[in-house]
């Protein structure tokens, strides 16, 4: 292997509190019912708009008529709070150090908006750890479309056969499948081992250090 592409939320970093805080603050400002943190966990993975669509529906906006309003408010609140209580999962910093030590190229590909993806990576890991950081932006199809994977591979100058994709959700498994790249399911994140297996993940690990056996 020459490279690893990582999902961000639920894979490298525990961002659930920042996401739940921003969603709940958005719903409060809109005068809608509060939803639970566990509901937020289930809604994460398909980008900010899908997160808010699900949150608004759960909070009482059954027709989705307020999605544009919700996105404007959520974007403002989340931009100010995207690193709120965000931490790397246990073992992630040590794993990254070892991967870098053996010369692997490292990248992040997230459905989180690009600006906030860069903010979180910079805040938690610094500017010199990852060779490529790519979040969701206009003109780039979100996961599970493979376009983001191909863009990252091009920037890494790496073939898909020489790269692993690591993620914690069924969206990540499908992304890797669509891109024709080997996927490693991260069972410590927002989804269970069972959900990853049902999504078709052939390789699932329970601790970050287990990734080393694949590289």
Same domain (yes/no): 10, 49: no
CB count in 10 Å sphere of residue 181: 20
Same domain (yes/no): 121, 199: yes
Residue 9 DSSP code? B
Same domain (yes/no): 200, 94: yes
Same domain (yes/no): 90, 112: yes
Same domain (yes/no): 106, 187: yes
Q: For strand 203-205 and strand 182-186, is the pairing parallel, antiparallel, or unpaired?
A: parallel
Host domain of residue 39: 16-81
Q: Would you state the pLDDT for residue 120?
A: 96
CATH of the domain at 64: 1.10.150
Same domain (yes/no): 69, 101: no
Q: Would you state the pLDDT for residue 174?
A: 98
Q: Would you state the pLDDT for residue 154?
A: 98
CB count in 10 Å sphere of residue 46: 18
Q: Would you state the pLDDT for residue 82?
A: 93
7, 9, 14, 168: the catalytic one is 7
CATH of the domain at 197: 3.40.50.1000
Q: Would you state the pLDDT for residue 45?
A: 86
Same domain (yes/no): 10, 25: no
Q: Would you state the pLDDT for residue 104?
A: 97
Q: Would you state the pLDDT for residue 46?
A: 87
Same domain (yes/no): 155, 49: no
Q: Would you state the pLDDT for residue 13?
A: 98
Q: Would you state the pLDDT for residue 14?
A: 97
How many helices and strands, by DSSP H and E, does the chain display? 9, 8
Q: How far is CA 81 from CA 19, 41, 53, 140, 199, in A?
A: 8, 17, 20, 24, 31
7 is catalytic: yes
- Tell me the pTM: 0.92
pLDDT lower than 70: segments of the chain: none
Q: How many domains does the chain have?
A: 2
Partners of residue 87 on adjacent β-strands: 14
């Amino acid at each position: 292997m020459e490279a690893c592409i990582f999902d961000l939320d639920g894979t490298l970093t525990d961002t659930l509190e920042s996401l739940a805080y921003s969603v709940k603050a958005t719903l409060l400002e809109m005068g809608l019912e509060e939803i639970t943190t566990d509901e937020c966990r289930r809604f994460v993975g398909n980008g900010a708009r899908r997160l808010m669509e699900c949150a608004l529906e759960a909070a009482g906006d059954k027709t989705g008529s307020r999605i544009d309003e919700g996105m404007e408010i959520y974007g403002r609140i989340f931009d100010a709070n995207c690193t709120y209580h965000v931490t790397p999962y246990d073992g992630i910093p040590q794993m990254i150090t070892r991967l870098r030590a053996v010369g692997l190229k490292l990248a992040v590909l997230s459905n989180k908006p690009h600006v906030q993806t860069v903010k979180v990576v910079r805040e938690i890991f610094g500017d010199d750890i990852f060779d490529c950081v790519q979040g969701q932006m206009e003109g780039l199809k979100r996961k599970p479309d493979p376009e983001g994977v191909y863009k990252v591979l091009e920037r890494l100058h790496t073939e898909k056969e020489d790269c692993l994709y690591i993620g914690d959700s069924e969206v990540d498994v499908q992304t890797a499948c669509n891109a024709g790249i080997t996927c490693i399911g991260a069972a410590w994140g927002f989804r269970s081992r069972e959900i990853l297996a049902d999504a078709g993940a052939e390789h699932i690990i329970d601790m970050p250090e287990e990734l080393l056996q694949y590289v």
